[in-house]
Amino acid sequence: MSDDTSGTFDRDTRYITDRIVADAPAGEPAGEKVGDVTWPVEAGRYHLAAARACPWAHRTILVRELMGLQDAISLGLAGPTHDERSWTFDLDPGGQDPVLGIERLQEAYFNRVPDYPLGITVPAMVDIPTTAVVTNDFDQLSKDLATQWGECAKPDAPELYPEDLREEIEKINERVYPDLNNGVYQAGFATSQSAYEDAYDRVFATLDWLEELLADRRYLVGDSITLADIRLYPTLVRFDPVYFGHFKCNRQTISSFPVLSAYLKDLWQTPGFGDTMNIDQIKEHYYVVHTNVNPTQIVPKGPDMSWLDEPSGRDQLS
């Protein structure tokens, strides 16, 4: 939504804030009301409803993949386009999610909260027995997938949110989320020149800062991939094909940043990153769904993203 007085896009961040945690007792979830309920970690009980097109859902797909939770948590992928009733499982045979048996994610939200009044968003963790949404709080969900599912993860699962680095990870996010992850949306959905220019300036100030920060370190925090990198990657990989043109963030492409382009190539070539991506679905989502920005719904053929497969040279920073 936009603030009519300033033309600034304000994201609705009201979510279902239930959590799935390791120390919750098995069986029925404990809590008095939606948003105040803890659910038990239980392999095979939950279904992650996501979409390859959505950057917020992309983060949870990455964590699930890197942690090796594929056998413990099934994955449902909605198609890249949707209407005002939101995401549909039109990629699956018969247009139904094969695990949940529903056509629209909206059904799982209504099973939890009848006539749910807020956004029908991905990612959403769904309780399979009841076909009801557990949580759609994408940031907390990513943290919990990284820290609460150890008993179901692969033996060599990485520490994506180590306790000794959490303060630094969150400090990075305090700038990356508002000024870049959400900043590109504030530029693209602005309805006044001043709001657009403010968001545009913050986007590129942040990219310049990251270019300098990553010059002598392979990853944002520590010596391995953390949630800081997972939060940044979906925005960087969408920048050239979508945000540069569609959202008018056109000072320069990521491919023209020497350090950021190498960093993005390094992540893209890491198992779990590029091999879980679909650039065509990403472009179709933005250019078809956002008719207020692109009323013709024409999807551009470019750009050529083959540069992501070139050597990054970042391994020398390990």
- To which H or E segment does residue 19 belong? strand 19-21
54 is catalytic: yes
- The residue type at 88: T
Residue 17 CB contacts under 8 Å (≥ 6 apart), including other chains: 35, 36, 135, 137, 140
Q: How many CB atoms lie within 10 A of CB 139?
A: 16
Angle, alpha carbons 229-233-235 (nearest 5°): 130
Question: In what order do the strands lie in the sheet containing 74-77?
Answer: 74-77, 46-50, 124-127, 132-135
Angle, alpha carbons 34-21-235 (nearest 5°): 85
Angle, alpha carbons 144-182-228 (nearest 5°): 40
18 CB-contact burial (10 Å; exposed 0-12 / middle 13-18 / buried 19+): buried
What would the two tokens of residue 235 be?
């925005």
Pairing, β 46-50 against β 30-31: unpaired
Catalytic residue chosen out of the listed positions 15, 46, 54, 152: 54
Contact of 243 with 212, CB cutoff 8 Å: no
Helix (H, G, I), strand (E, B) or coil at 40: strand
**Residue 268 annotated as part of some ligand binding site:** no
How many whole angstroms separate alpha carbon 159 and alpha carbon 166?
Answer: 11
196 is catalytic: no
How many whole angstroms separate alpha carbon 306 and alpha carbon 113?
Answer: 44
How many whole angstroms separate alpha carbon 66 and alpha carbon 190?
Answer: 35
**Which active-site residues does the annotation give?**
54, 185
Residues that constitute the known binding site for glutathione: 87
